A = this chain, B = another copy of it.
C-alpha cells in the first residue's frame, strides 16, 4: 500500500475499498524530497500533484523586502497541492520543512477519476476545501488575536491535525519548525515569537523547544486562542 493515510487520514474510512484502490493506482512510486527544499514555485505549470506520506511541508508567499508569510503547514496524509489540478498552477510556493516522503499523482489520472468516480471526486474536492477553511482560520487569527494567542491557535490546530493521523500523543507532538518559521506563520518577528513562547511556558500553557510541542493546559490554551475545531471538519462527511 503506497498511500498509508490517504485523504486526510481520518477520512479514509469514508472511502470505499474500490475508491481507495483507484487512488492507490493513480499514484506513482513514493520518492524523497530533502528538507528545506522549495519544490513548487508560484506561477509554474503543475501537471502532477503531491500527496504527503511522511514529513512536514509549508506553503509560503514572499514579500518585497525579503520577508515571508507562511500560509499553511501540512502534515502526513495531506494532498498538499491538489489545488493545482483545477487551477493549473499555484499562486504561492511549496517547500519541505523536513525530509519528506511523497507520492506524485499525475493529473491525467485525476481526469480519469473525475470522469468515472463522482463519489471519489467529491472526496478530493472536499480535501482541497479543508485548506480553504484553514486559511480562513489563519485570517481570523492574524486579524483579531494577539501574538501569544496566534501561537496558541497554531499549536491547537497542529495538535488537532496531528491527532487525527495519530501523530500527537495527548498534546505532545513533533512540529519541526524554528522560531523564525513560527514568526513567519504568525505574522510577528522571531524575537517576539521567542518572548511569547516564554510567556506561554511560564504560564504553564505549553512548551515549544527544539521542534517539540507539549501542551500543558489544553483548556486555557484553547480559550486564549479562541479555538474551535469546527473548521477542521473532523466529523464525518455528509
Q: Residues of A at under 8 Å CB distance from B?
A: 42-43, 45, 59, 61, 63-64, 67, 69, 71-72, 83, 86-89, 91-92, 111, 114-115, 118, 121-122, 125-126, 128-129, 131-133, 135-140, 142-145, 184, 186-187, 226, 230-231, 233, 237-238
CB contact between A125 and one of B128, B137, B186 (< 8 Å): that residue: B128
Q: Which of A86, A89, A133, A184 has the most CB of B within 10 A?
A: A86
List of B residues within 8 angstroms of A184 by Cβ: 143
* CB-based contact B135/A63 at 8 Å: no
List of B residues within 8 angstroms of A61 by Cβ: 136, 140
CB contact between A187 and one of B129, B133, B143, B226 (< 8 Å): that residue: B143
List of B residues within 8 angstroms of A131 by Cβ: 132
CA distance A143 to B63 in the complex (A): 10
Interface pairs (21), CB distance under 8 Å: A43-B230, A63-B226, A64-B226, A69-B139, A71-B136, A86-B237, A87-B126, A87-B133, A88-B233, A88-B237, A91-B136, A91-B231, A111-B118, A114-B121, A125-B125, A132-B132, A138-B139, A142-B142, A143-B184, A143-B186, A143-B187
CB contact between A83 and one of B64, B88, B129 (< 8 Å): that residue: B129
Q: How far is the CB of A32 from chain B (nearest CB, A)?
A: 27
Apart from A63-B144, A87-B233, 5 more pairs, CB < 8 Å: A86-B237, A89-B238, A114-B118, A125-B125, A138-B139
Determine the main DSSP class of A at the interface with B: helix
* CB-based contact A125/B226 at 8 Å: no
Q: How far is the CB of A171 from chain B (nearest CB, A)?
A: 22
* CB-based contact A135/B139 at 8 Å: yes
CA distance A92 to B64 in the complex (A): 32
Q: How far is the CB of A201 from chain B (nearest CB, A)?
A: 24
Q: With CB as the reference atom, state the residue of chain B lying closest to A111.
A: B118
CA distance A64 to B230 in the complex (A): 15
* CB-based contact A136/B135 at 8 Å: yes
Q: How far is the CB of A222 from chain B (nearest CB, A)?
A: 12
CA distance A138 to B111 in the complex (A): 31
* CB-based contact B122/A59 at 8 Å: no
Q: Which of A72, A136, A184 has the most CB of B within 10 A?
A: A136
List of B residues within 8 angstroms of A139 by Cβ: 69, 71, 135, 138-139, 142
